[in-house]
Amino acid sequence: MPPKGGGNAKKESGRAKKAENEVKKKEAATAQREQQEASKWQEGSKVDKAAEQRAKQEAAAARKAEAARILAEEEAQASVVKPKVPKGAKPKKPAAAEETSGGKGKGKATEEEEPPAAAASGSGGNIDGIVESFSASNLDDALDMLEVVTAKTDKASVGNMASGLEKHPERRFKASFEAYCERELPELKKDRPGMRLQQYKDLLFKQFQKSDENPFNQTTVSYDATKEEKVEALKRRQGEIEERLREKKGLTGN
């Protein structure tokens, strides 16, 4: 006869195996969760690194752009020279007039020594004796004036400048706005502290709509514009800059 209690031994063995299987299942589930969490952390780390790298590149580009703007301003201030007319200055008589007047009296010579301003008024020139000069009072104006002052007028140069007009401002809008925010945000926080980041960005966006850095505020042409249309747009832009920055001063004399 089998020993007493044999059935209980089998039950105990079955329970032990079942408990062991449960433990293994729990361990496997725990290992799987840990692996998934580790994968998520790795992906998040990659995203953070990519964002950090992109931010560094954008900051470097903004610094280069700012340095270029400062250099352009200095060059513009050095190249834009306002003409000055000294008080009581008398124009020199042309050599040809001296030879022609020869032995004639002083009265005749005086008539021939007509001031340039008066001669211009007689020939349809500057009627009011106005000397035109240009003044740049801020960085954007200085850059615009530098563009006009240093622009070459030969046909090839005009064609090259016209071909470089903006055709797709929407492609540069995002990058230009981000660079604008990166530069202006610290100053805005100083001027108006205590606001949320989104409120700062909303204010900067409104300012950017009127900024010359906004590609949509720059001279644009359609993507299929002809060469003549591009040249005409370039001339309009230069004319608008000259008109905006022009100063008018009357000639003074004794």
Is residue 204 over pLDDT 90? yes
CA separation for the pair 232, 238 (Å, rounded): 10
Is residue 113 over pLDDT 60? no
The model scores a pTM over 0.75: no
The predicted model gives 222-236 an average pLDDT of 65
pLDDT, tens digit, 9 for 90 and up, residues 61-74 = 888 888 888 888 88
Residue 30 vs residue 83, higher pLDDT: 30
Strands (E) located in the chain: 130-134, 246-250
Do the beta carbons of residue 80 and residue 145 sit within 8 Å? Answer: yes
Report pLDDT for 186.
94
Report pLDDT for 225.
59
- Sorted by where each begins, the domain ranges of the chain are 86-130
CA separation for the pair 146, 66 (Å, rounded): 16
CA separation for the pair 253, 124 (Å, rounded): 21
